[in-house]
């Protein structure tokens, strides 16, 4: 037993589980050797990785700091309090819950706090860039609530606020949701506040994608306008996988806390909560503002290069880290384009564009995001180069081999961390 327990505490994964160690090694190489354009992704700091792999994972607590159901929480309470304080400081909210295991669960907790089954929610439709957790039929939100969707204008592809207002007056939703996962432009939160007020609805802004841009001060903030704001810590915020919920009303914040625990979740994922505190601390530094500015500059450089090569960018550009290519004029589907770019080591995802049919095989969009590449220190020049390779491959003017060579050259010049084999 003595030597067994020594091995348990000291042996790293390379010694104990070569099959998994190989997965880590391969994934680490992939992240080094491919250009990551999936808009939901980012590359967390070494400090965030440290938090995720920390001893905090051993600790079980339920409840909130100072009011736990288990003993021994004096140190982990500091971590959760820091995450809460930093969320409030970063976004200017009065209250925060940092326990949701994901963005989807953050939204579900809000629904549990504010809605009864059968209530009506009004949200952006999936094909216009909405999110699964905002009432898509296979999701719990779609099964338990009466869901009405607003969309975008057929010509501009910008949110149709008049339609949202009309629908709100008709269906009197209990909850109006703003935010999505493939909408490239800033959202008019004041307009949505007025629409919600007129309809007597609560307003939820899900800023999963652009939270990091709000934190960096390069995107308008919904926090003083919405009743509740949710986000992931994963995407532009550059932290661990997980969610946050913010609000400014004490009674509402209490209901949200009860909805997260004991309503939706059990014990806290403390290493993740600590990692959230770390990424929030990073987001409070001046260098994160520089990061946010560079994200916007890079997204615009990429969009400009694509447009100048006769590719169609939905809404003509972007105000965020992401943009949507409309491939219909190229006679390509999203999946074909995704595969063509995968062949030159550029990773991205097919996506519906507004008014696309629901079947993923028929989608004619490609979603591209610059958050991970910007973390890697790609600047506007590099994103113009990436745009040239994408355009070359999608218009058939660049050979696959040349595309691969140019991607490899970029990846080599901008190293990411190597996997730690302990």
Ligand X SMILES: *Cc1c(COP(=O)(O)O)cnc(C)c1O
**Binding residues vs ligand X (CB under 6 A):** 40, 102-104, 131, 133, 179-181, 206, 208-209, 232, 234, 241, 243
- Give the residue with the Cβ less far from ligand X, 31 or 181: 181
| Euclidean distance between CA atoms 218 and 239, whole angstroms | 18
- Give the residue with the Cβ less far from ligand X, 96 or 208: 208
- Give the residue with the Cβ less far from ligand X, 131 or 269: 131
Smallest gap from residue 204 Cβ to ligand X (A): 10
Smallest gap from residue 181 Cβ to ligand X (A): 3
Close Cβ partners of 173 (under 8 Å, ≥ 6 residues apart): 119, 120, 121, 122, 148, 199, 201
- Give the residue with the Cβ less far from ligand X, 305 or 320: 320
Smallest gap from residue 210 Cβ to ligand X (A): 9
Smallest gap from residue 321 Cβ to ligand X (A): 12
Smallest gap from residue 371 Cβ to ligand X (A): 12
- Give the residue with the Cβ less far from ligand X, 141 or 374: 141
| Euclidean distance between CA atoms 220 and 26, whole angstroms | 39
- Give the residue with the Cβ less far from ligand X, 83 or 407: 83
- Give the residue with the Cβ less far from ligand X, 68 or 238: 238
Smallest gap from residue 241 Cβ to ligand X (A): 6
Smallest gap from residue 61 Cβ to ligand X (A): 22
Q: What is the DSSP pairing of strand 312-313 with strand 322-326?
A: antiparallel
- Give the residue with the Cβ less far from ligand X, 102 or 267: 102
Nearest residue relative to ligand X (C-beta): 103
Tokens of 209: 């994608």
Smallest gap from residue 2 Cβ to ligand X (A): 42
Smallest gap from residue 268 Cβ to ligand X (A): 16
- Give the residue with the Cβ less far from ligand X, 93 or 123: 123
| Euclidean distance between CA atoms 164 and 130, whole angstroms | 14
323 beta partners: 368
Smallest gap from residue 179 Cβ to ligand X (A): 5
- Give the residue with the Cβ less far from ligand X, 40 or 388: 40
| Euclidean distance between CA atoms 378 and 60, whole angstroms | 40
Smallest gap from residue 209 Cβ to ligand X (A): 5
- Give the residue with the Cβ less far from ligand X, 31 or 230: 230
SS3 string, the chain, reads CHHHHHHHHHCCHHHHCHHHHHHHHHHHHHHHHCEECCCCCCCCCHHHHHHHCCHHHHCCCCEECCEECCCCCHHHHHHHHHHHHHHHHHHCCCEEECCCCCHHHHHHHHHHHHCCCCCEEEEECHHHCCCHHHCCCCCHHHHHCEEEEECECCCCCCECHHHHHHHHHHHCCCEEEECCCCCCCCCCHHHHHHHHHHHCCEEEEECCCCHHHHHCCCCCCCCCCCCEEEEECCCCCCCCCCEEEEECCHHHHHHHHHHHHHHHCCCCCHHHHHHHHHHHHHHCCHHHHHHHHHHHHHHHHHHHHHHHCCCEEHHHCCCCCEEEEECHHHCCCHHHHHHHHHCCCEECEEECCCCCCCCHHHCCEEEEECHHHHHCCCCHHHHHHHHHHHHHHHHCCCCHHHHHHHHHHHHHHCCCCCCCCC
């Amino acid at each position: 037993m003595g030597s067994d327990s020594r091995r348990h505490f000291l042996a790293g994964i390379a010694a104990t589980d070569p099959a998994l160690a190989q997965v880590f090694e391969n994934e680490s190489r992939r992240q080094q050797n491919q250009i990551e354009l999936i808009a939901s992704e980012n590359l967390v700091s070494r400090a965030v990785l440290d938090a995720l792999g920390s001893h905090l994972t051993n600790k079980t607590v339920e409840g909130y700091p100072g009011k736990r159901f288990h003993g021994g929480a004096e140190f982990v309470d500091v971590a959760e309090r820091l995450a809460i304080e930093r969320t409030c400081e970063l976004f200017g909210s009065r209250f925060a819950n940092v326990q949701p295991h994901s963005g989807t669960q953050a939204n579900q907790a809000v629904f549990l706090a504010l809605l009864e089954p059968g209530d009506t929610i009004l949200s952006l439709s999936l094909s216009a860039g909405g999110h699964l957790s905002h009432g898509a039929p296979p999701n719990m939100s779609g099964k338990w609530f009466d869901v009405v969707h607003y969309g975008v204008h057929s010509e501009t592809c910008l949110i149709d606020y008049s339609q949202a207002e009309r629908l709100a007056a008709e269906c009197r939703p209990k909850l109006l949701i703003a935010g999505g996962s493939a909408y490239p432009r800033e959202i008019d939160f004041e307009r949505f506040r007025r629409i919600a007020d007129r309809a007597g609805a609560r307003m939820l802004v899900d800023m999963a994608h652009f939270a990091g841009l709000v934190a960096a001060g390069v995107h308008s903030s919904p926090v003083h306008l919405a009743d509740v704001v949710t986000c992931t810590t994963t995407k532009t915020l550059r932290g661990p996988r997980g969610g946050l919920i913010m609000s400014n009303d004490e009674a509402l914040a209490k209901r949200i806390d009860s909805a997260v625990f004991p309503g939706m979740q059990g014990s806290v994922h403390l290493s993740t909560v600590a990692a959230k505190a770390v990424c929030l601390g990073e987001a409070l530094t001046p260098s994160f503002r520089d990061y946010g500015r560079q994200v916007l500059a890079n997204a615009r450089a990429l969009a400009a290069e694509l447009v100048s090569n006769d590719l169609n960018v939905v809404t003509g550009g972007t105000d965020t880290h992401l943009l949507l290519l409309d491939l219909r004029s190229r006679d390509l589907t999203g999946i074909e384009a995704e595969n063509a770019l995968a062949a030159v080591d550029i990773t991205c995802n097919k996506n519906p564009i507004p008014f696309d049919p629901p079947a993923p095989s028929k989608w004619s969009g490609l979603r591209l995001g610059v958050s991970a590449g910007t973390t890697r220190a790609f600047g506007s020049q590099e994103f113009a180069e990436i745009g040239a390779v994408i355009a070359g491959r999608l218009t058939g003017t660049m050979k696959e081999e040349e595309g691969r060579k140019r991607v490899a050259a970029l990846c080599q010049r901008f190293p990411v961390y190597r996997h730690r084999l302990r």
